[in-house]
């Protein structure tokens, strides 16, 4: 190897740039004399003058030291006792998942455009599709979209493409009035371009769907609901939805995938498109991203669905092989007529999901669901025993979370609990401004019974102090 | 071949878990919702699971496996420290609904990233929320749409894209409800200003373009194109897919753009993960700042009563909701884990990011030069030509194998498969659509001169192969050429259980 130029100040990047110090040699081979020659085609008026006003470079050791200090100043859920969920629940991801997913052959590969050298990821994603199909009871799954909010949005536009021609209520979709505003905002951004009209479906006082209001959705393109719903309620009434809305209206359901270890596969009660937040299977919460959105449907929606799909095929020798298929739906071929603009998706997080699912197995999933259920029900029992608070939906079934009504503002309660070292839950007035006293408390497989006792004790103290104040 | 679903061991086998904290038999859920059949998932022990996925990984090619010159994708090395940092509990184990005083560290890093990205692109405000490049495009186009609505310019219903644009550009604009106007490129691959002039008008909302363009060429007339669009009242949108070529040398802001998306998974080394996750922040000029999806991070001096932590003894970091925000494009705060990785990457280079881009361009030009020289020496120069006339390329370059196709019936795909046999990932083929038999090569800055020399040699060796060999390639891979038509005609999208 020829000798390299002497490295000088600013050569921190030497560990990333193999040709640092060899610039002259390479330039000379091309008949150039300086790096400036490589940018001679950038007209003078649009050239950057001077250095970027940024901090200096750092070495790996300095970076990790800073990262530990800065991120260490955060309060991690694991540092506290936490009942914060609202769609993202604390979970345990087996160690082998983290170990395997950092294998460079997976981590550093691109979308498998060359199937001959990408059979590993293609097969893993085809297996992911199978795991999801089995979980939700539908024939078709793609290999992930970004998250549950974009999955819901994409499902709605997909439903409109499939049903609008025959729909009596043109370009119209019905959504539960309970939908969290942030999710609704994503849906609005994705659907406003197509001029889709969104109407809301009412819920009963006990939190279940008002099936009479649902009759209005007949003749529309689709209905979007969630199971459990945003209040944590498992709503048996949803098994009647398809019968009410009929074949020409898509039944789209958002699910918590872990619940499906005990809750019926939505494909078995008439759901046409299942979407969901995959996170609880395979991925830490990571401040809300990256997650992975589940998107599964019946064959009727296959050609209008978003995202990448892997199919089984053969190679020229007739040997089994996998490749991306049905790509004529996609942006790189169909351009502005594509079913979605999605290109980069969440493959690696879906791969973590596949690993976790395959390690759990059917009975493991059932047990995981039961652990979540047990924590939620022990909490229901303990918290409903506190005289100063009430559970407005006590008689319903719940998964992962439920609402408690406090004698004061949920925001104040959370502040108090924070001083006691508890992340107490989610202030529902953020979603429903009239519900200032509603606190959404979440429990998962990571909740301990002693933590539930602690929450109950603190809630009792805080509520009692408030009730006393009021009576005085 | 082994399938996951052929592992179907004893009932209950799998990952062992603690028992539920109370018996669940008595807990009632509605009868109609009781699961009738469990999913037919495999029943495997940890050693079987580990071996299955390790086996699969051995059948996959990543940057770690070998040279990955996939044009337009910027397949640079992914530093491993970034993975370690992303698993720290201060990012992996925090929840997006935690109060600000719990997450000052994350907000500080987000703020640093917003500032850095703004500086690099010459933009005034940045949001980190979009989770992929295509979503960034969509978000920026939505901001432009709301900007025009706020000005009552509802007639601006058209978005202009060059015919060489990435497919996501027209797809994203169309999703936002715009009509697409495609303009042809000039014969030399550059933007045709006359064509642009002929389509702009009162109905123009924006032009979407990447620079360097998809041929890897810098658009010398970009400032003029920007004035044409601006004079017509439209906005200029910069597709940041090719940002790796220009950092510190020029910026979208200087070129006259109003909005830009960044592909953190290209320029800032978030691993591609076989197709994702990515991260697609956007930057905008001040007139669009209040339309960004919210919230974005701001800082103010610390005040009495603030809960001070290790990072905020001077500044308090807080969320800010832009006044006319388009709302959200992802329910939480985007792919935060990716943003943290890319922060670690940025810290490596700091104000020397220019060196990174210079080396990307150096490597691309050097490789192009070596391929041409090597082909001359071996007498096969007549089998390919430049995709477009080039004096100096940027971070990637295109070759057209149309001459080879004509002479021997061997096209870009055959050469790509021949390269797989040499142990390389194939370059991007048949894109951009404007170059016949196109091969698009992007080596990135993290490949050594020796790797580039060797690749040039092997590339020319492939050109010297006979037609039969290349039609039959690859022969050394785990499977040989895969029948994509068969896959589409015999749709098998999941495992077919025997019962």
Q: Is residue B34 within 8 angstroms of chain A, CB to CB? A: yes
- Does the structure show a pLDDT above 60 at A6? no
CB atoms inside a 10 Å sphere around CB B151: 11
Q: In chain B, which among 318-377 make CB contacts under 8 A with chain A?
A: 326-338, 340, 344, 347-356, 358-359, 361-363, 365-366, 369-370
Query: Under an 8 A CB cutoff, do A355 and B89 touch?
Result: no
Q: Is the pLDDT of residue B499 over 80?
A: no
Q: What is the mean pLDDT of residues B461-469?
A: 97
What gap in Å lies between CA A243 and CA A230, rounded to an integer? 23
pLDDT band at B14 (very low <50, low <70, confident <90, very high): confident
Whether B318 shows a pLDDT value over 70: the answer reads yes
Cα A320 from Cα B21, distance rounded (Å): 46
Mean pLDDT of B238-248: 96
* Cβ contact B32–A234 (<8 Å): no
Pairing, β B158-162 against β B179-183: parallel
**Domains of chain B listed by start with CATH number:** 81-352 (3.40.640.10), 355-484 (3.90.1150.10)
pLDDT-based confidence at residue B468 (cuts at 50, 70, 90) = very high
CB pairs below 8 Å between A and B: how many?
A: 697
For chain A, the residue count is 472
| Topology, domain A79-88+367-471 | 3.90.1150
- What are A281-305's pLDDT values in tens digits? 999 999 999 999 999 999 999 999 9
What is the average pLDDT across A380-394? 97
Q: Is A106 on the interface with B (CB under 8 A)?
A: yes
**Distance from C-alpha of A105 to C-alpha of A117, rounded to nearest angstrom:** 10
pLDDT at B417 (0 to 100): 97
Cis peptide before B474 (omega within 30 of 0): yes
| Chain B CB within 8 Å of residue A33 CB | no
CB contact under 8 A, B351 and A94: no
Work out the widest C-alpha separation in chain A, in whole angstroms.
Answer: 90
Q: Which residues contact B72 (CB under 8 A, 6 or more apart)?
A: B166, B214, B241, B242, B396, B428, B431, B440, B442
Interchain contact, B64 vs A104, CB within 8 Å: yes
Tell me, yes or no, if B47 comes closer than 8 A to chain A by beta carbon: no
The mean pLDDT value for A121-133 works out to 98
Query: What CATH topology corresponds to A95-357?
Result: 3.40.640
Range with the poorest average pLDDT among A108-117, A256-265, A311-320, B11-20: B11-20
Pick the residue from chain A with its C-alpha nearest to B109.
A70
Q: Is the pLDDT of residue A229 over 80?
A: yes
Per CB-CB distance under 8 Å, the chain B contacts of A358 are 4, 41-42, 44, 49, 52
| Closest-CA residue to B82 (of B242, B265, B240, B244) | B265
The closest CB to that of B420, out of A68, A117, A346, belongs to: A117
pTM: 0.97
Q: Give one DSSP letter per residue of B23-56, joined into a string.
A: --TT----GGGB-SS-----B--HHHHHHHHHHH
Tokens 């819920």 found at: A203
- Measured between CA atoms, how close is A233 to chain B, in angstroms? 10
Least confident stretch, A140-144, A259-263, A338-342, B114-118: A338-342
Q: Do A315 and B480 touch (CB under 8 A)?
A: yes
Q: Would you call B328 and A355 a contact, using CB atoms and an 8 Å cutoff? A: no
A111, A188, A236 ranked by CB distance to B274: nearest:
A111
Inter-chain residue contact B132 with A342, CB threshold 8 Å: yes
Q: Determine whether the interchain pair B30/A236 forms a contact, defined as Cβ–Cβ distance below 8 Å.
A: yes
Report percent pLDDT > 70 for chain B. 100
Q: Which residue of chain B is at minimal alpha-carbon distance from A195?
A: B177
What integer best gives the mean pLDDT of chain B? 95
DSSP string covering A21-58: T-HHHHHHHTT--SHHHHTTTS-GGGBPPS--SSPPP-
**B 124-143 residues with CB < 8 A to A:** 131-135, 137-138, 142
In chain A, where does the domain assigned CATH 3.90.1150.10 lie? 79-88+367-471
A288·B95 Cβ contact <8 A? yes
Which of the two residues, B305 and B347, has the higher pLDDT score?
A: B347
- Report, in angstroms and rounded to the nearest whole number, the Rg of chain A calculated over CA atoms: 26
> pLDDT, tens digit, for every residue of B139-148?
999 999 999 9
Exposure string (b/e) for A288-313, b if CB count within 10 Å is 16 or more?
A: bbbbbbbbbbbeebbebbbbbbbbbb
Interface check for B239 against chain A (CB to CB < 8 A): the answer is no
Q: B interface mutation test: which of A184, A260, A286 has the most B CBs within 10 A?
A: A286
In this model, does residue B30 exceed pLDDT 90? yes
Residues of A in contact with B363 (CB under 8 A): 19
Mutate to test the interface with B, among A241, A288, A401 (most CBs of B within 10 A): A288
Query: What number is the average pLDDT over the span A361-365?
Result: 96
Residue A210 has pLDDT above 80, yes or no: yes
pLDDT of residue A1: 45
Give CA A361 to chain center in angstroms: 22
Nearest Cβ partner for B61 among A1, A117, A126? A117
pLDDT band at B3 (very low <50, low <70, confident <90, very high): confident
Q: Are residues B113 and B128 in contact, defined by beta-carbon separation less than 8 angstroms? A: yes
* Confidence (pLDDT) at A9: 54
Residue A332: which of B167, B425, B450 has the nearest Cβ?
A: B167
A471 min Cα distance to partner chain B (Å):
31
Question: pLDDT tens digit string along B154-181?
Answer: 999 999 999 988 899 999 999 999 999 9
CA distance B403 to chain A (A): 23
* CB-nearest partner of B15 from A110, A124, A359: A359
Distance between A180 CA and the closest CA of chain B, angstroms: 9
Q: Torsion angle, CA of B4/B8/B11/B13, rounded to 10 degrees?
A: -50
Cα–Cα distance measured from residue B191 to residue B201, given in angstroms and rounded to the nearest whole number: 18
Measure CB to CB from residue A290 to each of B24, B337, B490 and give the nearest one. B337
CA distance B248 to chain A (A): 6
Query: What is the pLDDT at residue A45?
Result: 96
pLDDT at A468 over 80: no
Confidence at residue A2, expressed as pLDDT on a 0 to 100 scale: 47
Instruction: Reply yes or no on whether the pLDDT at A7 is more than 90.
Output: no
Out of B57, B95, B278, the one facing A84 most closely (by C-beta) is: B95
Nearest to B41 among A125, A146, A358 (CB): A358
Q: Quick: pLDDT tens for B68-123.
A: 999 999 999 999 999 999 999 999 999 999 999 999 999 999 999 999 999 999 99
What chain B residue is nearest to A40 in terms of C-alpha separation? B392
From chain B, the residues in CB contact with A348 under 8 A are 271, 273-277
The answer, for A78 touching chain B at a CB cutoff of 8 Å, is yes
A169 shares contact with chain B (CB less than 8 Å): no
| Number of alpha carbons in the 13 Å side-chain half-sphere of residue A296 | 30
How near does any CA of chain A get to the CA of B160, in Å? 12
Pick the residue of B21, B247, B250, B305 with the most A CBs within 10 A to test the interface with A by mutation: B21
Mean pLDDT of chain A: 95
Check A261 against B70: CB less than 8 A apart.
no
Contacts of residue A112 in chain B, CB cutoff 8 Å?
60, 274-275
Give kind and range of the element (H or E) at residue B399: strand B397-400
Q: Say which of A311, A316, A359 has its CB closest to residue B480.
A: A316
Cα(B53)–Cα(B274) distance, integer angstroms: 14
What part of B 271-290 touches A (C-beta under 8 Å)? Answer: 271-278, 280
Residue A10: band (very low, low, confident or very high) from pLDDT cuts 50, 70, 90: low
Report the chain A residue with the minimal C-alpha distance to residue B22: A374
């Amino acid at each position: 190897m020829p000798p390299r130029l002497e490295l000088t100040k600013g050569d921190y990047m030497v560990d990333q740039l193999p040709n640092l110090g060899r610039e002259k040699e390479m330039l000379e081979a091309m008949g150039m004399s300086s790096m400036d020659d490589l940018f001679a085609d950038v007209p003078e008026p649009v050239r950057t003058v001077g250095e970027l006003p940024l901090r200096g470079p750092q070495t790996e050791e300095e970076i990790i030291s800073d990262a530990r200090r800065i991120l260490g100043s955060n309060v991690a859920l694991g540092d506290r006792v936490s009942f914060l969920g609202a769609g993202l629940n604390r979970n345990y991801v087996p160690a082998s998942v983290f170990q395997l997913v950092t294998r460079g052959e997976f981590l550093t590969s691109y979308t498998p455009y060359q199937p001959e050298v990408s059979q590993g990821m293609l097969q893993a994603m085809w297996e992911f599709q199978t795991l999801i199909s089995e979980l939700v009871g539908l024939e078709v799954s793609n290999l992930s979209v970004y998250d549950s909010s974009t999955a819901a949005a994409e499902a709605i536009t997909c439903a409109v493409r499939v049903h609008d021609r025959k729909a009596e209520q043109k370009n119209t979709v019905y959504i539960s009035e309970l939908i969290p505003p942030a999710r609704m905002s994503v849906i609005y951004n994705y659907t406003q371009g197509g001029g889709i009209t969104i109407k809301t479906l009412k819920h009963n006082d006990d939190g279940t769907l008002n099936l009479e209001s649902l009759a209005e959705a007949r003749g529309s393109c689709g209905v979007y609901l969630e199971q459990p719903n945003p209040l944590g309620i498992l709503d048996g009434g949803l098994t009647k939805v398809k019968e009410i809305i009929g074949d020409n209206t898509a039944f789209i359901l958002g699910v918590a995938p872990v619940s499906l270890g005990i809750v019926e596969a939505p494909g078995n009660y008439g759901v046409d498109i299942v979407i969901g937040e995959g996170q609880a299977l395979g991925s830490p919460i990571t401040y809300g991203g990256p997650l992975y959105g589940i998107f599964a449907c019946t064959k009727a929606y296959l050609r209008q669905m978003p995202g990448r799909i892997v199919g089984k095929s053969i190679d020229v020798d007739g040997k089994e092989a996998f490749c991306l298929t049905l790509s004529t739906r996609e942006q790189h071929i169909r351009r502005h007529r594509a079913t979605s603009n999605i290109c980069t998706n969440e493959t690696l997080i879906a791969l973590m999901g596949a690993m976790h699912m395959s390690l759990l197995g059917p009975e493991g999933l059932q047990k995981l669901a039961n652990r979540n259920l047990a924590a939620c029900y022990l909490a229901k029992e303990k918290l409903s025993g506190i005289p100063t608070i009430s559970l407005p939906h006590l008689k319903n079934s719940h998964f992962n979370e439920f609402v408690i009504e406090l004698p004061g503002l949920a925001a104040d309660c959370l502040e108090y609990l924070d001083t006691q070292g508890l992340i107490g839950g989610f202030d529902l007035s953020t979603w429903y401004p009239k519900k200032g006293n509603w606190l959404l408390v979440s429990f998962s497989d990571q909740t301990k019974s002693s933590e539930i006792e602690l929450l109950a004790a603190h809630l009792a103290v805080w509520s009692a102090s408030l009730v006393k104040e009021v009576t005085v | 071949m082994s399938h996951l679903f052929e592992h179907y061991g004893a009932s209950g086998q799998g990952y062992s878990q603690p028992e539920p904290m109370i018996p669940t038999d008595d807990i009632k859920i509605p009868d109609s919702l009781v699961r009738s059949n469990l999913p037919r998932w495999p029943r495997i022990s940890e050693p079987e699971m580990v071996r299955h996925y390790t086996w699969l990984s051995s059948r996959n090619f990543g940057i770690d496996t070998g040279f990955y010159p996939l044009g337009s994708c910027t397949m640079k090395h992914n530093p491993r420290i970034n993975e370690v940092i992303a698993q720290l509990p201060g990012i992996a184990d925090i929840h997006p609904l935690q109060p600000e005083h719990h997450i000052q560290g994350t907000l500080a890093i987000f703020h640093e990233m917003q500032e850095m990205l703004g500086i690099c692109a010459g933009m005034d405000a940045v949001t980190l929320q979009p989770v992929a490049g295509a979503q960034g495009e969509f978000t920026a186009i939505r901001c432009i749409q709301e900007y025009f609505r706020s000005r009552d310019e509802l007639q601006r219903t058209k978005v202009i894209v060059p015919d060489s644009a990435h497919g996501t550009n027209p797809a994203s604009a169309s999703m936002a409800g715009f009509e697409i106007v495609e303009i042809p490129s000039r014969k030399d691959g550059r933007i045709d200003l006359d064509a642009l002039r002929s389509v702009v008008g009162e109905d123009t909302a924006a032009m979407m373009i990447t620079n360097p363009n998809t041929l890897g060429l810098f658009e010398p007339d970009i400032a003029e194109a920007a004035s044409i669009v601006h004079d017509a009242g439209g906005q200029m949108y910069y597709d940041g897919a090719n940002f790796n070529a220009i950092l510190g040398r020029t910026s979208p802001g200087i070129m006259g753009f109003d909005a830009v998306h960044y592909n953190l998974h290209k320029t800032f080394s978030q691993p591609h993960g076989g197709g994702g996750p990515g991260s697609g922040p956007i930057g905008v000029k001040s007139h669009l700042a209040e339309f960004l999806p919210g919230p974005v991070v701001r800082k103010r001096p610390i005040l009495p009563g603030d809960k001070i932590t290790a990072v905020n003894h001077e500044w308090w970091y807080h969320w800010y909701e832009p006044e006319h925000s388009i709302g959200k494009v992802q329910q939480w705060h985007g792919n935060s884990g990716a943003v943290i990785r890319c922060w670690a990457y940025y810290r490596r280079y700091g104000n020397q990011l220019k060196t990174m881009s210079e080396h990307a361009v150096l490597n691309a030009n050097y490789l192009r030069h070596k391929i041409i020289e090597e082909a001359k020496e071996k007498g096969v120069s007549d089998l390919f030509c430049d995709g477009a006339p080039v004096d100096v390329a940027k971070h990637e370059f295109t070759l057209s194998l149309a001459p080879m196709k004509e002479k021997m019936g061997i096209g870009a795909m055959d050469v790509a498969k021949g390269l797989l046999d040499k142990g390389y990932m194939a370059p991007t083929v048949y894109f951009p659509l404007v170059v016949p038999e196109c091969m698009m090569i992007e080596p990135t800055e993290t490949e050594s001169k020796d790797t580039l020399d060797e690749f040039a040699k092997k590339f020319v060796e492939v050109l010297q192969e006979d037609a039969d060999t290349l039609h039959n390639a690859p022969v050394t891979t785990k499977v040989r050429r895969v029948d994509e038509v068969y896959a589409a005609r015999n749709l098998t999208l999941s495992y077919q259980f025997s019962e």
